Structure 1
Amino acid sequence: MKSGAKQQIMAAQIRYFRRGAALTAIALTAACSSVPSSGPTAGQLFDKERVEASKIGFSIIDVSSDSIPAPELGELGTTATLEQLTANGRIDLLGPGDVLQVNIYEVGVSLFGSGMTIGGGGDRMDTSAKDQSLNGVTVDEQGYISLPYIGRIQAAGRTTDDVRRAIIAGLRGKSQAPQALVTVKENVTNTVTVGGLVSDPGRQRLSLARERILDVVAAAGGLKEPATQSTAILRFTRAGRTAETYLAQLVPGSAADLQLLGGDRIEILERARSFTVFGAAGKVSEVKFEKANLSLSDAVARGGGPDAQQADPANIFIFRYQQDAAAPDGEKPLVYRLDMTRPSSYFLSQRFMMHDKDVIYVANARANQTRKVVEIFNLLTSPFIQARAVTR
């Protein structure tokens, strides 16, 4: 090939390469501001939000031993509130709505049946005992029952033995050697209600054995899914006051395993909670958790952890609304920042407990932007470099 032709070819390559370089420079200029990423860096995250931050009133708090917030359901981890509902009371007293069975026994001439035998050689007195059963005797709203030949007898606030003696006293002088037996056929007053996530919810009658909370939960068939022994929440109501605690906190026969009184209500619950992960994490997702206390370290692990190629481990943020009576809406937005490049942060993250609806954001590393620009540069310039190498 002649030298003039070679010079023309090289001049054309140079012009082509310069044109490509110019286009590459334009592309890189645009790429610096529009490099694809999984989210902003820590600086980008807040530089543009200063005005909005002043409006909303949120602040950034570095996680330290002095700034770790209280667990969201911390009160459920103790039985102190439940123990405050301890009360003495009786479970053998009758009340409105109770249904009784009354058996009356008489000798000789009886009020509830004839005691005379007529004919067959003369009249004679039948001295055998007679039994009259009165079923379905209900204590009315005023606390009274009504019986033939006796009238109204107060039953509410009295035991069945008190009512038995009152019946005998009412029949004395009207019947010969009257006796009575009173039993509770349907108990409404001395019952508790068990509901929620138990196998057999409903009303349970209390006995003189003095059942406790765990006794009636077991009698209701125990827990049913999705509740488990570690996630079930006990809501206990007595006389208009309510306490909640994790059921696992109760020890059989302990002060928290209260002796039950009529009218107590027991409900087994489970609260579905979740947090969301964004940014340069292993996976962007909503993660549900059932544990009473889920630590930040566990939450980050469930989210896949910081991405080794993109994440800035020094800037892991937790966004949440914290209850604050002084805030206009009763909630104050807070942002916690965790620096995982510090060894102490790994200990602190185990004490930092997640709240429902928390948002974890793993910031992108600044170097990640530069790396992506270099990748784009290589992608755009490699064809020109290869073409030049081939034509040499």
Structure 2
Amino acid sequence: MGFFFPRITCVLLALSLAACGSLPRGAALEAEVLRGANNPEADFAVYPVTKAFLPTAAKWPLTGEEHRHWINSSAGSIAQVIQPGDTLDVFIWDSGENSLLTAPDQRVATLSGMRVSEGGSIFVPYIGKIRVSGRTPDSARQLVQRQLEAIVPSAQVQLQMSEGRVNSIDLVGGVAIPGNVKLPDQNFTVLAAISAAGGVRDTLNNPQVKIVRGGNIYGTSISRLYDDPSLNTRLQGGDKVIVEADERYFLSLGATGLENQFPFNRDSVSALDALSTIGGLNDLRADPKGLLILREYPASAVQTDGGGPGKQRVIFTLDLTKSDGLFSARNFAINSGDVLLATESPVASAQTIFRLIGSTAGLVAILN
């Protein structure tokens, strides 16, 4: 009897610890997290992720990222077009004996380094200002020659062009050779520019492409550009092209294979993709019925008619023991900033209690 009562005491002590919630655990129980969800004054809403719920969730706004539009491709001229800031070299050939443009022992007059003015014109002796902006180099050559023929009938004109800032784009980071790239024609696309700069760096995670044009920023992923030719948009002079890693991420906590912050490795990440990325659930601790996804919406998204979440703070629940839960997880999109919380299995808590009982009983046996 002297040995029996200490053992009973140990059992009661272990059960008391469990009742007080002081057992060592790495995650909360699902019931603990969702406690009070049915209270009208609760500051969060709970939505089980099922096949029937997926169309509703798909209509709700994205969180944690700024949605950017993109520019579809369009055809342009394969010719160069002169713009303000470009530099022209004009060569005027004249075989006349008493030429106004050349010395007696010369046959060509060279007008080099003529910068196209802000107004789009250049100055040619004996003619004056000639507007060349918006013309191709050949069209500008013909215009200069026509103007000269009235003064020097035998003159023939050659013209060469060097692109200036308005006829170039800037590639900012994310490529092998960032810097200024000249537009060889008006049909120069974003993929052609990236190729000219040595391609995207291999170290970037799910590379994103941005075009800064005027006061607007357009964005998409490099994988979309590869897959859809209609998105390979034509660049304009002055564009800034930025290639950078995908900044979106999600977090995993609780009884998961890994607890960490994980970047998006593709354009769209499903709950099942995310679960695979974090190494799945902990086999010994996790409750497969209690995978929770925590998300916070802006106040403007809250709607009580089903067109949006009922609260700013939302918890989506996934039951991975059912086929509907597994298929739904594959089609439920993770948003940037989401938290995947794998709750603790109640069985794991019971196992902890029994281990405590066994350890305590062994200690008592030793003492006796």
TM-score range, shorter chain: 0.7 to 0.9
Q: Given the alignment, which residue of 212, 232, 236 partners 1:257?
A: 232
Alignment pair present for 1:278 and 2:253 = yes
Tell me, yes or no, if the aligned pair for 2:6 and 2:364 is still in contact at 8 Å: no
Q: Which amino acid aligns with 1:223?
A: V
Q: Given the alignment, which residue of 158, 180, 185 partners 1:203?
A: 180
Cα distance change, pair 307–172 in 1 and its aligned pair in 2 (3 A): closer
> After the TM superposition, which of the residue ranges 251-260 and 283-292 deviates more from structure 2?
251-260
Q: How far off is 1:315 after superposition?
A: 1.0
CA–CA separation in structure 1 for the residues paired with 2:262 and 2:185: 47
Gaps in structure 2 of 5+ consecutive residues: 304-308
Equivalent in the alignment of 1:359: 339
Tell me, yes or no, if the aligned pair for 1:194 and 1:266 is still in contact at 8 Å: yes
Q: Given the alignment, which residue of 39, 47, 62 partners 1:61?
A: 47
CA–CA separation in structure 1 for the residues paired with 2:355 and 2:228: 68
CA–CA separation in structure 2 for the residues paired with 1:203 and 1:154: 26
**Greater Rg over alpha carbons, structure:** 1
CA–CA separation in structure 2 for the residues paired with 1:63 and 1:244: 30
Local SS of the residue matching 2:204: coil
Cα distance change, pair 76–350 in 1 and its aligned pair in 2 (3 A): farther
Equivalent in the alignment of 2:87: 99
Cα distance change, pair 111–27 in 1 and its aligned pair in 2 (3 A): same
Q: Trace 1:189-200 onto structure 2 (pairs within 5 A).
A: 189-200=166-177
Q: How far off is 1:101 after superposition?
A: 0.2
Tell me, yes or no, if the aligned pair for 2:246 and 2:264 is still in contact at 8 Å: no
RMSD: 3.7
Tell me, yes or no, if the aligned pair for 1:201 and 1:220 is still in contact at 8 Å: yes
Local SS of the residue matching 1:325: helix
Residues 333-375 of structure 1: CA deviation (Å, up to 9, x unaligned)? 2211001121221111111232222211111222333332232
Cα distance change, pair 180–36 in 1 and its aligned pair in 2 (3 A): same
Alignment pair present for 1:219 and 2:199 = no
Q: Given the alignment, which residue of 132, 138, 145 partners 2:122?
A: 145
CA–CA separation in structure 2 for the residues paired with 1:49 and 1:205: 60
TM-score, reference length from structure 2: 0.80
CA–CA separation in structure 1 for the residues paired with 2:223 and 2:9: 70
Cα distance change, pair 273–333 in 1 and its aligned pair in 2 (3 A): same
CA–CA separation in structure 2 for the residues paired with 1:367 and 1:341: 15
Local SS of the residue matching 1:335: strand
Q: How far off is 1:112 after superposition?
A: 3.3
Q: How far off is 1:184 after superposition?
A: 0.6
Gaps in structure 1 of 5+ consecutive residues: 1-12, 116-127
Q: Which amino acid aligns with 2:99?
A: S
CA–CA separation in structure 2 for the residues paired with 1:67 and 1:295: 15
> After the TM superposition, which of the residue ranges 22-31 and 371-380 deviates more from structure 2?
22-31
Equivalent in the alignment of 2:265: 290
Q: Given the alignment, which residue of 322, 332, 349 partners 1:342?
A: 322
Local SS of the residue matching 2:312: strand
Local SS of the residue matching 1:350: helix
Q: Which amino acid aligns with 1:279?
A: G
Local SS of the residue matching 1:152: strand
Tell me, yes or no, if the aligned pair for 2:78 and 2:187 is still in contact at 8 Å: no
Q: How far off is 1:255 after superposition?
A: 2.8
Equivalent in the alignment of 1:37: 25
Q: How far off is 1:137 after superposition?
A: 0.5
Q: How far off is 1:39 after superposition?
A: 2.2
Cα distance change, pair 176–253 in 1 and its aligned pair in 2 (3 A): farther
> After the TM superposition, which of the residue ranges 196-205 and 338-347 deviates more from structure 2?
196-205
> After the TM superposition, which of the residue ranges 367-376 and 336-345 deviates more from structure 2?
367-376
Q: How far off is 1:305 after superposition?
A: 2.6
Q: How far off is 1:279 after superposition?
A: 1.8
Residues 289-346 of structure 1: CA deviation (Å, up to 9, x unaligned)? 4222232223223333333332221111011224563459x99322110011212211
Residues 243-299 of structure 1: CA deviation (Å, up to 9, x unaligned)? 322222235993322344434443322213332222222343333342222322232
Tell me, yes or no, if the aligned pair for 2:168 and 2:180 is still in contact at 8 Å: yes
Q: Which amino acid aligns with 2:98?
A: V
Residues matched between the structures, number: 355
CA–CA separation in structure 1 for the residues paired with 2:227 and 2:247: 27
Alignment pair present for 1:312 and 2:287 = yes
Cα distance change, pair 108–226 in 1 and its aligned pair in 2 (3 A): same
Cα distance change, pair 47–191 in 1 and its aligned pair in 2 (3 A): same
Equivalent in the alignment of 1:243: 218
Residues 192-243 of structure 1: CA deviation (Å, up to 9, x unaligned)? 3333311122333333583333222212211113237xx2223235565543
Cα distance change, pair 43–246 in 1 and its aligned pair in 2 (3 A): same
Q: Which has the higher contact order (CA 8 A, sep 6+)?
A: 2
Cα distance change, pair 225–251 in 1 and its aligned pair in 2 (3 A): closer
Residues 22-81 of structure 1: CA deviation (Å, up to 9, x unaligned)? 465345424431111122211122326778x946x42111001133344959x999x994
CA–CA separation in structure 1 for the residues paired with 2:150 and 2:277: 82
CA–CA separation in structure 1 for the residues paired with 2:325 and 2:77: 52
Tell me, yes or no, if the aligned pair for 2:37 and 2:44 is still in contact at 8 Å: no
